[in-house]
Every structure is written in structure tokens, then in C-alpha cells.
Amino acid sequence: MPAVIGPVEEHWLRGVRRCRSPNQDQRPEGEVSALVLHSISLPPGVFGGDEIERLFTNTLDHAAHPYFAGIEGLRVSAHLLIRRDGECVQFVAFDRRAWHAGQSQWEGRSRFNDFSIGIELEGDERSFTLAQYRALATVFAALSAAYPGLNEGRIFSHQQIAPRRKYDPGPSFDWALFRRMIGSGFHS
């Protein structure tokens, strides 16, 4: 059973497991004003296991699956991973820049890694669990309380900020459910 997600303390969520990623650096302006939602499964379509954590910590065995050979040398991370059961794993402190968005732009603003928090949902762009939506809503409440620049209007899909290059979290992400949860003040 996932731990109870607490408030942000010194840029880390209380109550979540930490797995520090080397794929991060200092934010150029220190700004935290956007949330970017992603989806990931490794290998594609496979859930569970530690492959996502290994990817974000540069310890993935690239010989373990044919797909992994194609991503060898990739240096990426996210601030947070929300697993299928709602467990949260934090890789990067929120005041640091995680390497999640890549080339990105929205309404004239680029380089989203500089000012956004990246959250990966364990999924394959087709399905997410109620436990993930609940955890995400709770995380958003904690983040928006800690970082005044974050609000419901500053939540983006990876596809929105990197169109034609990315498609996550995908068409099955239930934005209406998520917005109802955060609009109602839902938290676990």
C-alpha cells in the first residue's frame, strides 16, 4: 500500500520514497511555475519492475530487452513517478531542474525544464488507474501549496509543449476526472 503523501518539505514530498537521479541540475532562475504530465512504461506496454527507476538513475541494463538498446546513453529523469498502485517515487528535489521535457514550447515560452515539475505516470498512453489519479491530485495539492506559481491553469501534457514529438500522457488520460479531483480539493 502506498504511503500517505505529505506536504513539501525542503523541496521533497513527505511520505514518498526517494530514489535520487543524477540527471538534474540547478534551475537557472529558481522558478517553479508549471507542471508537466508524462507517461512511461519500460519496456513499452509492461508495468511494474524497476526499469523506470533504473532509466532515471542511469543503471538500466541495456542488454536486458531489445528496446533498451535503442535508449542506451539516454540521460533523463522526472521529479516524480506515480506507479500503477499510486506509490510515488521522487527522483529530483522540486527546486532542481529534472531532465524531462526536452525541446518544449508553449505560448512563446520555451525550455520547460527550467521552470516546471515533471511527473511521470506509469502507463502506456492508453490506461491509468484510479489510484494514480488520486495520488496525482494529492501531489498537486501539496505542490500548489508549496509553490504559489502552480495552479490548475499551469498543468500541461507533454504533448501540449512538444507537439508532433510527444504524445503523452495520451488520449486515455482523463483530464475531466483529474480536474474534478483537484477542483473539489480532493486529497488522501
The 10s digit of each residue's pLDDT in 39-64 is 999 999 999 999 999 999 999 999 99
What pairing do the DSSP bridges indicate for beta strands 96-98 and 80-82? unpaired
Considering its fold, how many domains does the chain have in total? 1
Summarize the confidence of residues 141-167 as an average pLDDT: 92
DSSP H or E run through 58: none
CB distance 52 to 120 below 8 Å: yes
- Full-model pTM: 0.95
Domain membership of residue 188 (yes or no) is no
With cell 521552470, the residue in question is: 115
Domain membership of residue 16 (yes or no) is yes
**Per-residue pLDDT, 111:** 94
Give the domain range for residue 147.
Answer: 8-183
Domain membership of residue 3 (yes or no) is no
Instruction: Specify the CATH number for the domain of residue 132.
Output: 3.40.80.10
Q: In a 3-state reduction of DSSP, which class is residue 159? A: helix
- 120 included as an active-site residue: yes
Domain membership of residue 2 (yes or no) is no
Q: In a 3-state reduction of DSSP, which class is residue 178? A: helix
**Per-residue pLDDT, 3:** 72
Among residues 87, 120, 122, 125, the one annotated as catalytic is 120
Domain membership of residue 77 (yes or no) is yes
> Given phi > 0 = left and psi -120 to 50 = alpha, else beta, which region is 121?
beta
